[in-house]
């Protein structure tokens, strides 16, 4: 220090068919799911013309079968690729049974009238279909079982845990990033760092609101390039060294959808950032930076294919309550209040579904943060004031990197 400081900075109604029976059906069936050449399973959605079911296999040796029941009546039933490969029968106007075999893609479309509920019981290859192979609406909800009910005027499934896969998830990632810290007095900390990122997310299956708590930790060295300041002669000498860094960041956010398709979110929350900066060597000393921040962000989610989804996430981070404690520099430990600056973070997370519960996650990101200069403090030795004072200078930090890891959906 003696400069005096080597600081740091781092943060969906409209459904109308022959009747209005489905007008208030749950919005989780609205919009067509993504269906590509690799799709496998049932894809079910509704629009103004009715309910649509697409059945897809990656081979022509499998089969689909099941029943669809309503407390009203079926209307306007149409099919594709079933006439020569299977059957569709309606009993008592309210019970539709189907079976199709030896075709990779088939369709059933229908409308309902005077109905308050539709119950699906679905099979694939003669067995109960894994609910992870049932995709409902553009949000691609998964029900809790192969048998499920969608009810009018209630945005719920009969099963309370209708979509465990969309509600809660845990991510653990490896973080590799470049640290580019620069003070206004020409001292810097640079290097490639390794760390770990852990995040838990819980999302309401109806409103799509969610909260997420995340934790990042890094324990890695950087290269210091700066100067040693001699307060007696008011001179400085160029100096380079190794800095041991321990960096932690904890954050909680709450996000609310603001678009009809419930893919655009605004969020805010609270975060805490800590950096222990230990300059090693004969002239080393320890600086401990702490501050809190309020993130205010925008997130837009999108789907690339049946298994690959992504998002654009932008956030401003409003720093407050920052301080720095310095020790090991020949004076008593002293503390200063840091100036507040606004940081910014941009990231583009991608999620690739490897199975019903496991996903590969990849998140490239960039973050800018800054620290305002601190107040001046008088240095003391054994409690006695000295003639010297110290201040933390302005600084900025440009960081960029990527997280790579796994996500487990409960």
Task: Give Cα separations from 131 to 62, 66, 121 (angstroms).
Answer: 17, 14, 11
Q: CB count, 10 Å around CB of 31? A: 19
Q: What is d(CA 91, CA 93) in angstroms, rounded to the nearest whole number?
A: 5
The pLDDT of residue 209: 92
Q: How far is CA 367 from the centre of its chain?
A: 16
Q: What is d(CA 121, CA 133) in angstroms, rounded to the nearest whole number?
A: 13
Contact in structure between 33 and 136 (CB atoms under 8 Å): yes
Q: CB count, 10 Å around CB of 68? A: 23
Q: What is d(CA 392, CA 364) in angstroms, rounded to the nearest whole number?
A: 31
The structural domains of the chain, ordered by start, are 27-152 (2.60.40), 166-409 (2.40.128.100)
Q: What is d(CA 268, CA 77) in angstroms, rounded to the nearest whole number?
A: 47
CA-atom Rg of the chain in angstroms: 29
Tokens for 66, please give them: 């099941």
pLDDT per residue rounded down to tens, the chain (410 residues): 434 433 333 333 333 333 333 334 454 678 888 887 777 899 999 888 889 999 988 666 789 999 999 988 898 999 988 888 889 999 988 999 999 988 888 999 998 888 778 999 999 999 999 988 899 888 788 888 899 888 764 433 333 333 333 468 999 999 999 999 999 877 899 999 999 999 999 988 768 899 999 999 999 999 999 877 665 666 677 889 999 999 999 999 999 999 877 889 999 999 999 999 999 987 788 999 999 999 999 999 988 876 788 999 999 999 999 999 999 888 999 999 999 999 999 999 999 988 768 899 999 999 999 999 999 999 999 999 999 898 999 999 999 999 999 999 88
Task: Give Cα separations from 246 to 40, 222, 318, 354 (angstroms).
Answer: 46, 11, 22, 34
Cα–Cα nearest to 403, from 369, 366, 353: 366
The pLDDT of residue 380: 93
Tokens for 176, please give them: 């590799």
The pLDDT of residue 9: 35
Task: Give Cα separations from 48 to 13, 78, 140, 285 (angstroms).
Answer: 10, 15, 19, 69
Q: What is d(CA 30, CA 41) in angstroms, rounded to the nearest whole number?
A: 18
Residue 126 backbone phi and psi in degrees, to 5: 80, 5
Q: What is d(CA 265, CA 242) in angstroms, rounded to the nearest whole number?
A: 42
The pLDDT of residue 164: 33
The pLDDT of residue 23: 38
Contact in structure between 285 and 332 (CB atoms under 8 Å): no
Q: What is d(CA 263, CA 139) in angstroms, rounded to the nearest whole number?
A: 9
């Amino acid at each position: 220090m003696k400069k005096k400081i080597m600081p740091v900075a781092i943060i969906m109604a409209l459904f109308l068919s022959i009747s209005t029976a489905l007008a208030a059906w749950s919005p989780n069936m609205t919009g067509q799911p993504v269906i590509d050449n690799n799709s496998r399973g049932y894809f079910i959605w509704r629009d103004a013309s009715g309910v649509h079911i697409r059945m897809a296999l990656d081979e022509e040796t499998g089969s689909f079968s099941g029943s669809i029941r309503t407390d009203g009546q079926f209307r306007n039933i149409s099919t594709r690729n079933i006439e020569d490969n299977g059957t569709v029968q309606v009993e008592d106007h309210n019970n539709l049974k189907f079976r199709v075999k030896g075709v990779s893609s088939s369709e059933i479309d229908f409308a309902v009238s005077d109905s308050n509920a539709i119950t699906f019981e679905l099979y694939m290859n003669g067995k109960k279909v894994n609910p992870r192979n049932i995709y409902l609406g553009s949000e691609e909800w998964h029900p809790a079982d192969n048998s499920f009910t969608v009810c009018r005027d209630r945005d719920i499934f009969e099963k309370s845990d209708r979509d465990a896969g969309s509600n809660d998830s845990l991510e653990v990632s490896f973080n590799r990033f470049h640290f580019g810290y620069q003070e206004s007095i020409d001292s810097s900390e640079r290097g490639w760092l390794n760390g770990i990122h852990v995040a838990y997310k819980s999302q309401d299956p109806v409103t799509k609101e969610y909260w997420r708590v995340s934790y990042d930790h890094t324990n890695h060295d950087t290269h210091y390039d700066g100067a040693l300041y001699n307060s007696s002669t008011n001179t400085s000498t160029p100096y380079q060294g190794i800095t041991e860094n321990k960096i932690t960041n904890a954050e909680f956010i709450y996000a609310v959808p603001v678009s009809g398709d419930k893919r655009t979110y605004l969020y805010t929350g609270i975060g805490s950032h800590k950096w222990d900066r230990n300059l090693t060597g004969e002239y080393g000393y320890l600086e401990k930076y702490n501050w809190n921040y309020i993130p205010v962000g925008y997130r837009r989610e999108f789907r690339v294919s049946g298994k690959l989804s992504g998002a654009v996430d932008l956030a401003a981070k409003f720093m407050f309550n920052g301080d720095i404690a310095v020790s090991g520099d020949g004076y008593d430990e002293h503390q200063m209040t840091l100036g507040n600056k606004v940081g910014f973070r941009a990231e583009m997370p991608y999620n690739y579904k490897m199975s019903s519960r496991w996903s590969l996650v990849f998140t490239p990101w960039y973050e800018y943060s800054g620290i305002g200069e601190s107040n001046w403090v008088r240095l003391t030795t054994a409690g006695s004031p000295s003639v010297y004072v110290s201040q933390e200078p302005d600084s900025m930090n440009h960081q960029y990197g990527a997280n790579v890891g796994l996500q487990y959906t409960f």
